[in-house]
Chain A
Amino acid sequence: MSSEGDENTVVCLPGERLCRVEDNVVLGIGTYEQNGYIYASKSGVVNIEESGENCQVVSVHKPGFHLTIPATGDVVTARVLVTTPKFAKCAIFCVRNVLLESSYRGLLRKEDVRETEKDRVDIYKSFKPGDVILARVINQMEQSFLITTAETELGVVVAYASDARKTRVPMVPVGWSEMQCPLTTIKEPRKVAKVLPESSINIIK
């Protein structure tokens, strides 16, 4: 069955029976149910966590590389590629805190940019190609993921001024709908995310 490693880590391979299905046992990732038993579907270390009242989640975590696909509800980091009046196409390159090897396609619709007055959004005043945004996945369509920035913590994180210059310095947010370039002091409209910018962390170091 499963072999014991050191420090009580239980290693398992796909197809190994882990435990019986009971009322308070829930399937986590890397497992599937068959004939009233729980089997592993990935190779890795078995984790049994307590979640909620008397609820145990059985999951198998693969050490090292994690195969991550953006799931509904995850916060992802994406780069805006194309903007049109109706939507913005993005390339998702980071899911939660895991960097992906190949980017997935994301679609940000006009109605999902902010919470109120959704139909009066102007995409060109919210994003420009090249911006790095934080967004949340709402759905998976046939060829891309539908993402939304309709929360205060979501939106543009890193953006550069539109004028072509040799030295590119990231703009600083001056409000939740504007960003200012530190060199030219030009302000540009963006849908800014309410996060602590990295520049302020570096100053205090």
Chain B
Amino acid sequence: MLRVTQTKNALLDGATIAEDLYTTPKDCEEGFESLELPGKNPKKLSPLLRAGVLTTVRGSAYMEYGNTKVMAIVAPPHELMRATARRMNMGVINCFVNFAAFATGELESVPEREKHLGSMLSKALEPVVCRTEFLNFQLDIRVLILDDDGCLLSTAINCCGVALVECGISTYDLVTASTACIYRDNVFLNPTAKEEELLRKHRGGHALAGSENSSSTTTGAPQEHGLITTASMDTFDQLAQCQQCGYLSPGTYVKLLDYTLAINKSLRQIIRRVLTARIKEQHELDVREKAESALEDQRLAEIIERLGRQGLDEFIQSTIKEDPFVKR
């Protein structure tokens, strides 16, 4: 995208050299033309999802969707740090989102986006986790974004859902999330960064300009633009989180909502496949370990039997004074 910076030449005594000042209408148009409008055959992007990628942390997952790469880490619950959060009657979930230094081009907005994503992520994951099982504990979920190419929140939610299940934390259901946005009557599903930029940066600026250029006599409907991210748990058709920004009429809102719910259903199949394969893999490892520890137990049992036969127990009991403080 064209980015205009006003350069200040210190040699010219305080005057500024301004470049192209008016950028919005042209910029928007160029950006929009360069997009591939979703045509008759929308190309299906299948996400890459892997559970248990790290050896140091128990619950970890890695997901790639298009060019967006996200990794999530879940650690077992530990005691509450903050005193004020202690009055809750359920466990506390904290989400920390971090962008890698090379993840995105615009670095000034990163701290704000990290905070925003963190709070939205905790809101989305609270209904999923059985928080009654870890009262007075807090669950830390860390998300690392390696490459930002759009729909970060939904990819992060998917990734965290898998990491939670991998860590062994009780959840009510599998959670899946996806994003849909509308710009100038074109619906983009799981938009890339370019498409999202049109909405966020230019703030649908063309929405106003467009409605003015058209005939001013007819009060046409405003150019709707907006983005909706939905996280759902499909067993009971529950929505864990539904976040919308932009400007939408209720009808469009419900239409986009239904699109995202349909995508969520198909994502759920992929997640189930990955998790089932993982369980089978772990189960085999477990069976092997159990066989080995059964041998170990047998060896110990033989030793104890031998000790019993040699009467070591009685020897210890006879030479040692009884504990006077034990109830009879």
Inter-subunit contact B306/A204 (CB<8 Å): yes
Inter-subunit contact B323/A3 (CB<8 Å): no
One of B233, B276, B327 near A13 (C-beta < 8 A):
B276
Inter-subunit contact B168/A66 (CB<8 Å): yes
Closest chain B CB from A63 CB (angstroms)? 4
Chain B residues, Cβ within 8 Å of A177? 323-325
- In Å, the complex CA distance between A3 and B167 comes to 21
One of A45, A114, A204 near B325 (C-beta < 8 A):
A114
Chain B residues, Cβ within 8 Å of A116? 325-327
Q: A14-B172, A62-B168, A201-B307 are in contact. Are A105 and B279 (CB under 8 A)?
A: no
- In Å, the complex CA distance between A53 and B296 comes to 33
Interface range for A: 35 or more
Enumerate B212-246 residues with CB–CB distance to A below 8 Å. 233-236
Inter-subunit contact B325/A143 (CB<8 Å): no
Q: Is A162 an interface residue (CB 8 A)?
A: no
Enumerate B283-328 residues with CB–CB distance to A below 8 Å. 283, 285-287, 300, 303-304, 306-307, 310, 312, 316, 320-327
One of A67, A102, A143, A176 near B80 (C-beta < 8 A):
A143
Q: Is B135 an interface residue (CB 8 A)?
A: yes
Inter-subunit contact B171/A41 (CB<8 Å): yes
1/0 contact string of A1-26 vs chain B (CB within 8 Å): 00101000101011111000000000
Inter-subunit contact A102/B279 (CB<8 Å): no
- In Å, the complex CA distance between A101 and B326 comes to 34
Enumerate A85-104 residues with CB–CB distance to B below 8 Å. 100-102, 104
Chain B residues, Cβ within 8 Å of A44? 279
Number of A-B contacts (CB under 8 A): 138
- In Å, the complex CA distance between A11 and B275 comes to 10
Enumerate B246-291 residues with CB–CB distance to A below 8 Å. 272, 275-276, 278-280, 282-283, 285-287
Q: Is B173 an interface residue (CB 8 A)?
A: yes
Q: Is B165 an interface residue (CB 8 A)?
A: yes
Q: Which residue of B lies closest to A2 (CB)?
A: B276
Q: Is A163 an interface residue (CB 8 A)?
A: no
Q: A43-B279, A45-B283, A69-B137 are in contact. Are A15 and B321 (CB under 8 A)?
A: no
One of A14, A101, A117 near B165 (C-beta < 8 A):
A14
Inter-subunit contact A63/B286 (CB<8 Å): yes
- In Å, the complex CA distance between A90 and B54 comes to 30
9 residue pairs of the A-B complex, CB under 8 angstroms, read: A13-B272, A14-B171, A43-B165, A67-B169, A69-B134, A104-B79, A115-B327, A204-B303, A204-B312
Which 6 A-B residue pairings sit nearest by Cβ, starting from the closest? Answer: A176-B323, A15-B173, A67-B168, A63-B286, A41-B170, A64-B282
Additional A-B contacts beyond A14-B171, A44-B279, A69-B76 (9; CB < 8 A): A13-B272, A14-B172, A15-B235, A43-B165, A102-B75, A152-B323, A176-B322, A200-B307, A201-B307
Task: Mark A residues whose CB is within 8 Å of B.
Answer: 3, 5, 9, 11, 13-17, 30, 32, 34, 39, 41-45, 62-67, 69, 100-102, 104-105, 114-117, 140-144, 152, 173-177, 192, 194, 196, 200-201, 204-205
Task: Mark B residues whose CB is within 8 Å of A.
Answer: 58, 75-80, 86, 130, 134-137, 165-174, 233-236, 272, 275-276, 278-280, 282-283, 285-287, 300, 303-304, 306-307, 310, 312, 316, 320-327
